[in-house]
Homo-oligomer: A and B are copies of this chain.
Amino acid sequence: MLQDMLENVRRKAPLIHNITNYVTVNDCANILLACGASPIMSDDMGEVEEITSLCAGLNINIGTLNQRTLPAMLAAGKKANALGHPVVLDPVGAGASTLRTASARRLLENIRFTVIRGNISEIRALASGAVSTRGVDADGAYSVTEENLNRAVEEIRAFSRETGAVIAVTGAIDIVTDGERAFCIRNGRPEMSRITGTGCQLSAMTAAYAAANPGQALTAAAAAVCAMGLCGEMAMARMTPLDGNASYRNYIIDAVYHLTPQELERGAKYELR
């Protein structure tokens, strides 16, 4: 099942429009190329509608949000909706400032998102309006554990029904749900949180998977989440004693480059709840 998702990315090589932050943008472009897709970055009001029309999917990421690019996000998202292109939202830092929370909500009110991917703090901030995030990393107080997993799944399922989007919450255990079925995914490594932008990269890759698999947003998002986690595991197996987070970043993208559909199918660790 998951392997078809990656096969379609490789076969269709979807062009993905990214309006994203300047911190991790290079890694987002390289991971899109690694998985078999193609990136274009464009954030000016004067061209985003045209650019997104050329593409197969749109990835909106609000890291380093600013007042110049927010209108471009709205315009591109509406255009992508009108064209029936999948749109992914990464609400980086939602909850950390009023601007980010309010902007993310404004995006939600104006754009139908296919997938929303964030950590549990960000997703909770969107769902509840609460403001409290530790930087752009999952707040320890809010992490999803085996103990609170059922409760977390219900909470995220409810948010998925409310928004009509597949919600992908990543952390120690990842949850991906369309409001009905929920994938609980146990791929990945804790060391991935010591690299900036693994979440941003996953969101970009999720847009590629969704674009290459129309009408299958849940499975596509789950496949992207499994792929990222699995590549984190494969990259960790390659680490030498002197390698740290900079080498690990490269090895993860390298692993995405080489990941085969069969490896993804075999290596994905998930259960459906």
- Cα distance A253–B67 when bound, in Å? 32
Contact indicator B253/A39 (Cβ below 8 Å): no
Contact indicator B249/A255 (Cβ below 8 Å): no
Q: How far is the CB of A242 from chain B (nearest CB, A)?
A: 6
CB-contact partner of A245 in B34, B68, B135, B137, under 8 A:
B34
Contact A38 B254, CB 8 Å, known A44-B67, A97-B50:
no
Contact A196 B47, CB 8 Å, known A34-B244, A245-B34, A256-B244:
no
Q: Check: A197 CB closer than 8 A to any chain B CB.
A: yes
Which positions 64-100 of chain A face chain B at CB distance < 8 Å? Answer: 64-68, 93, 96-100
- Chain A's interface size range is 35 or more
Contact indicator A196/B39 (Cβ below 8 Å): yes
- Cα distance A112–B47 when bound, in Å? 26
Contact indicator B64/A41 (Cβ below 8 Å): yes
Contact indicator B245/A33 (Cβ below 8 Å): yes
Output the nearest chain B residue to A16 by Cβ-Cβ distance: B135
- Cα distance A29–B255 when bound, in Å? 22
CB-contact partner of A135 in B15, B98, B247, B255, under 8 A:
B15
Q: How far is the CB of A223 from chain B (nearest CB, A)?
A: 19
Annotate A118-129 by CB proximity to B: 1 below 8 A, 0 otherwise: 000000000000
- Cα distance A243–B257 when bound, in Å? 9
Residues of A at the B interface (CB closer than 8 Å) are 15, 21-27, 29-30, 33-34, 38-47, 50-51, 54-55, 63-68, 93, 96-100, 133-137, 194-197, 238, 242-247, 249-258
The list of the 3 closest CB pairs from A to B, nearest first, reads A244-B257, A244-B254, A246-B253
